[in-house]
Every structure is written in C-alpha cells, then in structure tokens.
Structure 1
Amino acid sequence: MMLRIALLQMMACGSNQEANLLKGEAFCRQAAQMRADVVLFPEMWNMGYLAELDVAALRAYRAGSLGQCFQKALPLWPLDRP
C-alpha cells in the first residue's frame, strides 16, 4: 500500500480563524484532487504567529476551536476513495 502525503506551506491570514479555515479547506480540496491520503499543515496555520497579540483568538484556540476546525473539514475527505 502506498501512502500519499501532501505537505502544505501556507501563510496564515493573521488570527482570522474563519479565513484560515477556508484557505485550509481549499488546500485540502486540491490535495484530494491530487489523491493525497494525508495532508500536513504547517504549525500555527489556523492562528498565525501573531496569536499572542490577539487575546480573544488565543482564548478561542485554548477552548478547543482547533478541534472544531477539523470537525468542519473532515466531511470534505472522501473515506471510500479508491
């Protein structure tokens, strides 16, 4: 069995998680079209490196918003792909 891994290099849209999620979804769709089995995101992809300056964004992250991002993105991934 061969495993295809998509490695993403993307710039975060600051601490705007909704914009980052949309950008991440677009990259996941592209990776799926290229038949990737796994997509690896860069660190801080959903928060950007300025998160420490945005207290509300940091609190949302700590409250589990990362898990919500993946819950929203998972339905995009076809589980029965040949």
Structure 2
Amino acid sequence: MQSENYERYSIWGHAILQQADILQPGRYAASGTITRNNRLIEASGVLGLFDTEEEAEVAGLGWARAWIDSHG
C-alpha cells in the first residue's frame, strides 16, 4: 500500500493479490481510498488488474487524485 497527502486529503493506493491458478503468477487488483481527518471520503471498486504490486498502487493513487480534482 502506498499513501500520500494530496490537497487536503490523505490518499491510498492498494494492491490486492489475485491468484487464480497456483501455477501462474499472481496479478494485482488496484483500488484507491480517500480520507480526510481520519474519515472515509470515497473508495473505489476494483480499478483493474496489473502485473506488479507497484503498478496497482500507482493506479489507486491516480484514481484518488482524479476524484479529488473532479470534486474540488
């Protein structure tokens, strides 16, 4: 999980390991969360599947920034 402060919010990018078959490498589902003053503002659903944990986390952060920009 990666987090950062953006505008007046704390944003989080999450990577959830998805392993459908033990013989295949796992992929990561991305999601994002936005909080402010320790209160949940918004959370995404699954944003997509990515090959690496970092790619998924970055996608979650990107979603959170875009949400804040469009609701500010």
If the TM-score is normalised by the length of the shorter chain, which range does it land in?
A: 0.3 to 0.5
TM-score by length of 2: 0.33
Q: Which of the two has greater helix per residue?
A: 1
TM-score by length of 1: 0.30
Q: Which of the two has greater strand per residue?
A: 2
